[in-house]
Structure 1
Amino acid sequence: MSTDASSAFSSIDPTAAGAAPAAAQRPLAAEPLPQRPTPAFVGASWAALLLGVAAYLIGLFNSSMELNEKGYYFAVLMFGLFAAVSLQKTVRDRAEGIPASSLYTGLAWFSLATALALLGIGLWNAGSLLLSEKGFYGMAFAMSLFASVAVQKNVRDLARFPRPERAEGDAGAARDDRR
């Protein structure tokens, strides 16, 4: 009976029949297989980026600020977008084992903190803006930074996968054959 019981349970518990434990059969830190971002996530990321940047820029265009103030807020937006994407790339490079210097990583963190501080200080001292306008700029800025990181992640993830081949009868495929 014990032989039958051990053979019956060996299909449930691999260690019951003397098999090596599952942890010994595969490495402990197995890398998950990269997955292609879904078209919905890619589209939502781009939509959020375009909406955030457009809202911020439309707000600047419609504001009664002096041109030099508008230029300041535009430069802060561009600096913040670059800093957020740069920091995301650096952090991801390190997570994937791609060398990134500590100096550049520190500069990326400093740049993002500086962009946030410049926006915060600028809005705090903007006496001509209503509190609701200040909140609007802050939220549009935050949305744009977050979305830029998501778009950069998608671009990098999609670069790992080959582009789908075109169908035989596709007009684009015929155009490529004539070159």
Structure 2
Amino acid sequence: MENEVFVDKEKQEKPKVKIERKEGEPTAAFKGASWGALLVGVSAYLIGLFNAAMELNEKGYYFAILIFGLYSAVSLQKAVRDKEEGIPVTSIYYGISWVALIVSISLMAIGLYNAGSIVLSEKGFYGMAFVLSVFAAITVQKNIRDTQKARERE
């Protein structure tokens, strides 16, 4: 009987580990979901591209568009955020960031529209994987920035 009481006391005395989250910092679940969406989007796009029955130069075009889209989205997110926070951003950089993202999305749309060797379902697959990847890249960048800012406030 004494052992039972001791076991109960042991369970009660165990402190629960609570992860401290700073004010303004995204939750671990949101960070994980963002990284997961980025990995799923990019992986699906690249696996689809690897298995596609298209010429190597066409695969290179779609790969370059993905990289260009991801970079331009992160660059634009940073420029917009910097501008909102009063961090100096030149108008040329801000404008180029907008143009780069618009061009990458346009090139993707034009490429898919004109791709005769790709069936409609594949076009939709590439379009959705591209959009998911670009959105996730923006979210991951935002999470990194929010986490960094929250920890600097300490």
**TM-score over 0.5 for the pair:** yes
Q: Distance in 1 between matches of 2:105 and 2:139?
A: 18
Query: Structure 2: which amino acid aligns with 1:60?
Result: L
Deviations 1:65-94 (A, max 9, x none): 101000000000000000000000000001
- Counterpart contact for 2:79–2:89, Cα < 8 Å: yes
Gaps of 5+ in 1: 1-32, 164-179
- Counterpart contact for 2:23–2:150, Cα < 8 Å: no
Does the alignment pair 1:41 with 2:30?
Answer: yes
Deviations 1:82-123 (A, max 9, x none): 000000000000111111011100000000000001101110
Q: Distance in 1 between matches of 2:60 and 2:50?
A: 11
1:21 aligned partner: none
2:64 aligned partner: 75
* Equivalent residue in structure 1 for 2:118, among 111, 129, 136: 129
Does the alignment pair 1:144 with 2:133?
Answer: yes
Does the alignment pair 1:116 with 2:85?
Answer: no
Q: Distance in 2 between matches of 1:160 and 1:136?
A: 36
Q: Distance in 2 between matches of 1:161 and 1:106?
A: 28
Q: Distance in 2 between matches of 1:162 and 1:119?
A: 38
Work out the number of aligned pairs and report it.
Answer: 131
Does the alignment pair 1:153 with 2:147?
Answer: no
Gaps of 5+ in 2: 1-21
Q: Distance in 1 between matches of 2:96 and 2:150?
A: 30
1:86 aligned partner: 75
Does the alignment pair 1:107 with 2:129?
Answer: no
Q: CA RMSD in A?
A: 1.4
SS at 2:35 equivalent = helix
Displaced runs of 4+ in structure 1, greater than 3 A?
none
Q: Distance in 1 between matches of 2:25 and 2:126?
A: 33
Q: TM-score, normalised by structure 2?
A: 0.82
- Counterpart contact for 2:76–2:97, Cα < 8 Å: yes
Query: Structure 1: which amino acid aligns with 2:110?
Result: I
User: Which protein shows a greater Rg?
Assistant: 1
Q: TM-score, normalised by structure 1?
A: 0.71
Higher relative contact order (CA 8 A, sep 6+): 2
- Counterpart contact for 2:65–2:108, Cα < 8 Å: yes
SS at 1:35 equivalent = coil
Percent identity for Structure 1 against Structure 2: 63
Q: Distance in 2 between matches of 1:162 and 1:93?
A: 18
Q: Point out the structure with the larger helix share.
A: 2
- 1:143 shift after superposition: 0.2
